[in-house]
Amino acid sequence: MTAQPQRPAFGTVLTSHMAVAQYQNDEWSPSEIKPVAPLEISPAAHVLHYASTCFEGFKAFRRADGSVHVFRMDRHIERLRQSARQLVLPVPDAKQLGDMVRAVIQRCRDAVPEAPGALYLRPILIGTTANIGAAATPSTEATLLVLASPVWDYFAGGMKPLRILIDDVNTRSAAQMGMVKTGGNYAAALGPTLAARAKYQIDQVLFCPGGQVQETGAANFFLIAKGELLTRSLDPSFLHGVTRDSLLQIGRDLGYTATERPFEVKEMLEWVSTGEAALSGTAAVLAGVGTLIYNGKEHRVGDGGVGPLTRALREQLVAVQQGEQPDRHGWLERVV
């Protein structure tokens, strides 16, 4: 076996350039491509005090012929616009933001790693109005950035089954903010996740307030069995993952019955005695769960390893993303 080169951790490297646009006087400025450099914002900027910020994360893939294709960008742009609305931030123009992403990919085309690596795109919107007395006043000025980061094989060290703690007390976010991709939600989930990690040596916490299965700190949750997929139906309490949507579609294409409905911890524990469980998100696509810990007791998921259905579904979606399977749903756009 050839040794894997040591790669930087996910998200720790940025490309040389980013796209920037400003919102002022009720309009967006034309966007510019600039070298990545520290931002100059007022210490009174709304975002620094009142957390008026949201972001996105999605990937572009290089093919063997050198072309680069971005995956479901329109969905991610719509989710950022919805987050901005919910946070009462100036809403980015969808066409302008799409052009900013394309411009960054084109400028940084040489930095897009080969498959199974990808270029991870990170649009971020922040409220910049300088006013420390604006707790109940929206930011009327904003900065929109598009950063890019080369990322490599998420499972370079092999796919390890995850240990997940079931927390049926805490919520990941305020009920109406779950579907908003905003920094405050991640800050809120961090404390419970780190505390649980220290106590139970877990990878992630699965938030199940009131016994209803929701999601982890940064991924959606799936139950999988032969010919069956189950995930929570959409409501404002959790992030509407684009990977979740793509896996449901791929599952249906493969003849699975893909069900979206609320379900409880009890049903989940019954399911995993024979079935599989997995986390879905842009970074890992689909990551198998090996153990669920509930009320101090460990529940093995299937045989405790990453299940074959989880692997197969992941491979199928990755094959579409990398252009090895037909793009039946028009999810990819060629940018380079």
Ligand X SMILES: Cc1ncc(COP(=O)(O)O)c(C=O)c1O
Residues in binding contact with ligand X, number by CB under 6 A: 13
CA distance linking residue 279 with residue 96, whole number of Å: 32
Which of 29-37, 83-91, 264-272, 279-287 is the region at the interface with ligand X (rule: CB under 6 A)? Answer: 279-287
Between 49 and 253, CB nearer to ligand X: 253
Residues 179-218 that bind ligand X (CB under 6 A): 215, 218
- Kindly tell me which residue out of 19, 57, 121, 321 binds ligand X, with binding defined by CB under 6 A: 57
Residue whose entry in the numeric block shows the structure tokens 């094989």: 153
CB of 114 to ligand X, least distance (A): 22
Please report the DSSP string for 60-94 in residue order: EEE-TTS-EEEESHHHHHHHHHHHHHHTTPPPPPH
Q: How far is CA 120 from the centre of its chain?
A: 11
User: Residue 282: how many CB atoms within 10 A of its CB?
Assistant: 23
CA distance linking residue 286 with residue 221, whole number of Å: 9
- Kindly tell me which residue out of 219, 230, 268, 292 binds ligand X, with binding defined by CB under 6 A: 219
β-bridge pairing 118-127 and 27-28: unpaired
Between 123 and 128, CB nearer to ligand X: 123
CB of 238 to ligand X, least distance (A): 6
CA distance linking residue 307 with residue 305, whole number of Å: 6
Please report the DSSP string for 220-255 in residue order: EEEEEETTEEEEPPP-TTS---HHHHHHHHHHHHTT
- Kindly tell me which residue out of 31, 182, 220, 237 binds ligand X, with binding defined by CB under 6 A: 220
CB of 287 to ligand X, least distance (A): 11
CB of 132 to ligand X, least distance (A): 29
- Check residue 239 for interaction with ligand X (CB under 6 A): yes
Applying CB under 6 A, the residues found at the interface with ligand X are 57, 215, 218-220, 239, 241-244, 280-282
